Structure formats: C-alpha cells, structure tokens
Amino acid sequence: MLRRRASAVCTATVAVGVLALAGLTGTASADPSPAPSAPVAGAEQLSPGLLKAMERDLGLTAGRARARVGAETRAAAVAAGLRHSLGAGFAGARVSGDAAELTVATTDAADAARITEAGARAVVVGHSLAELTSAKAALDRVALHRAPEGIPVWYVDVRTNRVVVEAGRGAATDTFLAAAGVSRKWVTISQSAGLPRTFTDLRGGDAYYMNGTGRCSIGFPVKRGTQGGFVSAGHCGTPGVSTSGYNQQAQGSFQGSTFPGRDYSWVAANTGWTPRPLVNGYGNGDVTVTGSTEALEGSSVCRSGSTTGWHCGTVQQRNSSVTYQEGTVSGVTRTNVCAEPGDSGGSFLSGSQAQGVTSGGTGNCSQGGTTYFQPVNPALQAYGLTLVTSGTPTDPTDPTDPGGSWAVGTVYAAGDVVTYGSAGYRCLQGHQAQAGWTPVNVPALWQAL
C-alpha cells in the first residue's frame, strides 16, 4: 500500500467523424443513432486546468481537447444503442484517436451492416462480451477467497477479445485458471513485473487526513439526503475513522468502506463543510462536475490528486481486477494516467463527467505508470448517495413534473426500469439523472417500454 504517512476477424470501416464518452454499461433503442438531445459532457466548458493537463499529457490544444471530449460523448451514445440492438452478440466497444473513431465488436457477421450504418467500425470476433465477463468473474470469485500470488492484474480486453492475465510466473497462472475453471482459450498471459499498490496518502482532488496517520484525496462531493460528504477510496479508512481537511480542521468521519473486493468509501462531513460540484484544478481553475456518465475504453480521462495535481491519459480496460498486498480488488478501470502516494481516492473525470476514485497502480509521475480507478456509480449505489453536480437542484420540487419514479440525482444502472408520467422506461446506460435529462427527452439514455 502506498499510504502517505503524516510524517513523510472481419471488419468494415466507415468514417465516424466526431463521436464517444459514456460506457459499455448500456442498451439502447433499435435505432442506435444518437439523438440531437443526447447529453454532451460539457465539452465547451472544460476548465483551464483540465485543458492544460490534456495538452501536457495528450498533446492536445484546447480546441482539439474540446472536440475530442464531445466526440467521445456522442460515440458512447451510439455504442449504447448498438449494445442493446446487438443483444447477446455484442462483444464490446472502444474509441481511438482524437476523432474518437468508434469500433464495435460482435460475434455475428450479420451485425456488421447494422454497425456500419450507425457510423462505427465493425469487427467480428469469437467471444461475446458476456462470455469474457463471465470468465473474468470466475477468476474474481477465486481471488475473493485468496488473492493469487504473483498475479497482480487481470481484465477483459475488448480490443483483443480476450481475458488478459498479467503474471510474473507461469505456474501461478495455470493454478489460478484451473481453480477458476477457466480455459486457456479465453486467456492471454502477459508477463508483468509491476506490483500495484494503493495511492493512500469538499472539493474533489483536495487532501484530507485520517486520524493524523495518513493522507488521501477527496473523490467527489456527495449528499445522502441532507447530509453532505464525499466518496473516496476504501483503503483510505474504515467506518468510525475521523478525518480532517486540507487545512487540518476537523472534517468528518468514515461512514462506510469496502476494501479489498472493491475500493470505495464515503465520509460524512461536519456542518462546516459544504459539498460543491467541483474538482480542484490546482491553480488552473476548478472543474465543474455535471454528471457521472461512464466513458468508453479509449476515451480521454484526467485525474486530480493532492500529491501530483492534474494528469491525463486514456481509459485502457474497464472491469479489471488487481491484486494489492492487502488483497484483490475487482471492477476497477485500468488507465495509463500516472499517480503517486497521497493521490488515492482522488477524482477521475472524462470531460466534466465523474468517472471514479483513484485506487492504486504502478510507476510514478516522473517515469509514468498505470493507475486503476474505482468507478464512482457503484459507490454511489452502494451507499445510497447522490453526486453533487452543477445540475443538483436547490429545490427539487418541479411543478411541471408529471410524476413517476424517475428522479433527478438518482444513479441509474443499465436495465433499471422507471416510470415518468404514465409511461415506463428502461435505462440504456449507467448515469446519474440530471435536470432536463428526462426519459422522454433523452432516448440515448432511456428506452420507452
């Protein structure tokens, strides 16, 4: 643990143009084309600090950074629609390049035409995403009881259509696969000498201290009813541990924490701390958080932490598993963004959309490395929290609301069913409901039943 001590193949291609940013966790309407009303991740309002970090780490000018984030957002809506329409044959989606060219994989060659008609590149592969995810889940179940020695990371790689297991010794990998009942035909073995560790050390990215024994970073400010607080990494503290803020003033205490297995926690703050929809820009302007729609693999992503400030890179693999000294954590997202001790718990964003909290990784910000983040939506759902965003209403009462179970501020997962007025709708991709993103207005997120 890097705890910061207080003392220290068939293809068909069509040009996509501007397309991608919101996750593989969705299904969508029979027409997968993004609707004009589909939400865009605040591409025109990106903070100067985030733009500066994207220029440094991704080589993008401000204009190219805005264009990329907007393109990634729209590609995600297309991918969500295709995931629904392709059904069991869907084998993953990813974006590439500044133009966010969207590639969608399927196990059925007959789907290629539908994919290209939606403006994406079609790839026919041998394994569906559901099959690969099932194989990885079997490995996760084994690791939950006993962390595999010498195997730091495993994940589903939609680019290669394989489960990748990073390992230092071949014998350990064979034992791990056998215990899980996973055939080698699903798996690519990648040799790795890296040993991930956690970056342990009410605005996202700010420092906070745990009982005076260590430092971590705030992920995102949240609310639970009228109680304010924030989400962070689970390895930063256990329930009952008190926290102090960046100014060393009493701040609050951990109410919930999960680690290993997952790596999330939430801290209830004292009344003197007001949660804001902001992430620390470290001298370059704060980022305003507008939602939590998940980014596709290949999308740009930036991190804010109290040790190293802003750093950017891309989403490499979602739903990864990583073994730390303390045990295995599953369901994290793998990135090529660097981090260091004390950055743990800090904010990961794609554009203005909250992605997750820093968990751990390898390397540092002098030589580069790999960092994993715990997606934020599962943490919000686990503790019944609402992400504080620029769209969080001060008065939730809307006299024009037609009624129903849909509500602003609620985190919805793909497959959730709500009512809006007298009609029913199924969620197509994971997101937090924002004002104006009603089921009837945003068909990229909701399908009428």
Work out the pLDDT band at 4, boundaries 50, 70, 90: low
What DSSP line would sit under 113-144, residue for residue?
A: HHHHHTT-EEEE-SS-HHHHHHHHHHHHHHHH
Note if 431 is an active site residue: no
Work out the pLDDT band at 15, boundaries 50, 70, 90: very low
pLDDT of 138 reads 94
d(CA 150, CA 323) in angstroms, rounded, equals 9
Length in residues, the chain:
449
Catalytic: which of 263, 265, 304, 306? Answer: 263
What DSSP line would sit under 15-33, residue for residue?
A: ---S---S-SSB---SS-S
Catalytic: which of 232, 344, 352, 359? Answer: 344
Residues 422-448 have a mean pLDDT of 82
- pLDDT beyond 70 at 21: no
Work out the pLDDT band at 45, boundaries 50, 70, 90: confident
Catalytic: which of 84, 127, 235, 311? Answer: 235
To the nearest whole number, what is the mean pLDDT of the chain? 84
Note if 157 is an active site residue: no
Among 9-18, 77-86, 125-134, 388-397, name the one with the lowest average pLDDT: 9-18
Angle at 188 (CA atoms; ends 183, 193), nearest 5 degrees: 125
d(CA 442, CA 35) in angstroms, rounded, equals 7
Q: Name the token pair of 71.
A: 């393109």
Order across the sheet with 250-258: list the strands. 215-217, 207-210, 242-244, 250-258, 264-269, 227-232, 220-224, 386-387
Work out the pLDDT band at 167, boundaries 50, 70, 90: confident
CB atoms within 10 A of CB 211: 14
Note if 145 is an active site residue: no
